[in-house]
Amino acid sequence: LPGFPEDVIDSIRQAVDLVELVSRYVPLKRAGKSWKGCCPFHQEKTPSFNVHPEKGFWKCFGCGKGGNAFVFLMEKEGLTFPEAVRQLAKDTGIHLPGDDDPAAARHATRIARLRDVCEWACHEFERALRAPAGQPAREYFKRRGITGETAVRFRLGYAPPGWQNLSDAARAAGIAEQDLIELGLLRRKDAEDGRPARTFDFFRDRVTFPICDSQGRVIAFGARTLGDDEPKYLNSPETPLFSKGRNVYALHLAKQEMMRTGEGAVMEGYTDVIMAHQCGWPVAVAGLGTALTREQASLVARYVKRVYLVYDGDAAGLKAADRNSPAFLPEEVETRVVLITGGKDPCDVLLSGGLAALKSNVDASREVFDHLLDAAKRVPGEAQALDAALAPLVGVTSRTRRPLYVKRVADAFRISDAQVLDRLKEIEKTTAPAERAAPPHAHASAVSEPPPPVRASRNTSPPSPTEQHLIEALLGRPDLCAEAAERLAVDTVVHPLCRDLLERLLGRYEATGTAPPVDAILGGIDDPELSSFAEGLRARGAGKDLLGQGRDCIQRLTTQHEARRLREGLDQVAGPAAERRELNSDEGEMLRRWVEFHRRRSAGA
């Protein structure tokens, strides 16, 4: 746990009121020492979600999720561990150690102050929208079909005409000009022609759209003119709080529904997003005026299983689709491109036809790589078209996604996977590292030359003998897959190469119900490292009693796996081992059920 000492984490965990934290999401009822409610992570009618405040853990017997306060926030808010620690440290008023470093403390104070100023400015703009002088802005929103309620929810505002509105208000509120300058809300003009240096408001006579981080804190603004003068949209510059490439508009308002439905939509404009929410599709977010970055894509991908990229159907929209879609290629999410027909933008479609009209476009969506391949194939010249198809794959290092796309390019251009991979590697060599999303070493493993057999370079530790022997046995005796599928949970095997092979074998067995065709499966592996690993294992198994060996491994792995789960479960349920004897009957009952749950699950029931 880099950055946070164990004892600080512990004191935060002890200080958190877990019942209060969980109650922000679901109502809980007291049941003896614990609290019960309906699980916030899966749909249920009878409560199987338990919170145990004294021990500081929660557990759902329905879906199996469980953990401490940090895990709860991570799961519920999609935070990383450090983010969850920071938030709970703040909630509980516990000092994080970085704060003792004077420079870090100064930085934290400055950031906190800038946040306050940003929030203040947002409030000023909101106030101006409701003031008598806000009439033109209110009319603008009304014309766009945005209701008052929606305006409140999105905290829409108005920066009136004039050069000094915000700076005057800041002076009256005792806010330092320097802070507003750092936030890009004021600009400075140097002294010239005998006039002294002065500052002026950056946003003038524009409606304002606050941009928030995923936790809903205002970090920047987008602003649009009321008329047609250019630039139509103006965003805050990069500031200590705000980086365009790392934030997504309205994520804080969409993330709950994204997690509930597993679905998200990325649109182009702020008003598209606002209208989607207003019309009953509150999973929409937008990029921030520039091409979507992979960082933005992975931020959205945290919350969803499927994402729709929604674009206008005109030439500009198509261009945006080509520019933005590649960002999602490395993500393990189904990504679909929606082109709005009839030359309209999503906001117009929603206004005239409601959600049903937009959804009919969504129904006609295309898988993102199909879309990109089509675009590439329109490029004149076979070699140029191939390069165009490969360009979005540069730096896509995902071990599952990369071979998949390579295969699809190969199919589309009727050449071999190896030829595609060679060309991709050449392009990657000539692409400056700065243009890549991932550090070069990250994809080195995916494209490395075949290593000597039975060497697992993806993991510093070699596979355990039992894991190796299991795969060896399954490759030689694929009929064993029935037993393995019945008794082994796939996550029993932890080494990545072994796990990959196990998934391929059992996946095929489960799809067909018959012993998987090993030759075909090994022949279909594009990854040279995995392929030679598999062939090495297969060669080693020749002539052995693989049936006995396989059964033995299945037995051993099941037992190990259960012991590990039980150990983890005990720690999670009962705290450190020393405390276990203090279990009362209530907790004992819970523990018993927990162990039972996992026994059933690891048995595949």
**List of residues contacting Zn ion (CB under 5 A):** 39, 41-42, 60, 62-63
Altogether, the residues listed in the chain come to a count of 605
Distances (CA, A) of 136 to 129, 149, 161, 221, 271: 9, 18, 11, 19, 17
Residue 374, number of CB atoms within 10 A of its CB? 13
Which residue number, 44 or 387, has a Cβ lying nearer to Zn ion? 44
* Whole-number CA gyration radius for the chain: 28
Helices then strands, each counted (H, E), the chain: 26, 16
SS3 506: helix
**Least spacing, CB of residue 467 vs Zn ion, in Å:** 31
Minimum CB distance to Zn ion, residue 303 (Å): 17
> Nearer to Zn ion by C-beta: 73 or 223?
73
Cα distance between residue 517 and residue 554, in whole Å:
20
- Work out how close the CB of 305 gets to Zn ion at its nearest, in angstroms, rounded to a whole number: 17
Burial class (CB in 10 A: 0-12, 13-18, 19+), 417: middle
Residue 34 beta carbon to Zn ion: minimum distance, rounded to whole angstroms? 15
**DSSP letter string, 282-338:** TTEEE--SSPPPHHHHHHHHTT-SEEEEEEESSHHHHHHHHHHGGGGTTSSSEEEEE
Q: Which is nearer to Zn ion, 72 or 242 (CB)?
A: 72
- Cβ proximity to Zn ion: between 72 and 140 the closer is 72
State whether the Cα torsion 254-257-259-261 is positive or negative.
negative
Q: How far is the CB of 58 from Zn ion (least distance, A)?
A: 10
| Residue pointed to by tokens 């139509």 | 232
Q: Toward Zn ion, which CB reaches closer, 39 or 254?
A: 39
Give 75 or 483: the residue with its C-beta nearer to Zn ion: 75
Look at residues 450, 27, 74 and name the one whose alpha carbon lies nearest to residue 259.
74
Neighbouring residues of 96: CB distance < 8 A, sequence distance ≥ 6: 4, 8, 85, 86, 89
Cα distance between residue 472 and residue 501, in whole Å: 10
Whole-number minimum distance, CB 60 to Zn ion, in Å? 3
Residue placing its CB nearer to Zn ion in the complex, 60 or 211: 60
Min dist. Cβ of residue 22 to Zn ion (A) = 12
Which CB sits closer to Zn ion, 116 or 596?
A: 596
Least distance in Å: CB of 519 to Zn ion? 42
Smallest gap, in angstroms, from Cβ of residue 40 to Zn ion? 8
The nearest distance, CB 66 to Zn ion, in angstroms, is 9
SS3 for 101?
Answer: coil
Find the shortest distance in angstroms from Cβ 532 to Zn ion.
42
CA distance 136 to 143: 10
37/516 with CB nearer Zn ion: 37
Measured from the CB atom, is 62 or 536 closer to Zn ion? Answer: 62
The CB-of-61 to Zn ion minimum distance in angstroms stands at 8
Distance CA 395, CA 357 (A): 37
**Choice between 130 and 260, CB closer to Zn ion:** 260
Please identify, using beta-carbon distances, which residue of 75 and 387 lies nearer to Zn ion. Answer: 75
340 touches 311 (CB < 8 A):
yes
Contacts of 129 (CB under 8 A, 6+ apart): 137, 138, 151, 156, 157, 158, 207
The amino acid at residue 12 is I
CB of 246 to Zn ion, least distance (A): 31
CA–CA distances in Å: residue 138 to residues 229, 348, 466, 490: 18, 19, 69, 57
Task: State which residue, 77 or 272, has the beta carbon closest to Zn ion.
Answer: 77
Beta carbon nearer to Zn ion, 41 or 303: 41
DSSP 3-state of 206: strand
- The least CB distance from residue 595 to Zn ion, in Å, is 17
Q: Which residues are bridge partners to 158 per DSSP?
A: 207
Strands in 341-484 per DSSP E? 366-367
3-state secondary structure of 415: coil
Using CB atoms within 10 A of its CB, is residue 499 exposed (0-12), middle (13-18) or buried (19+)?
Answer: middle
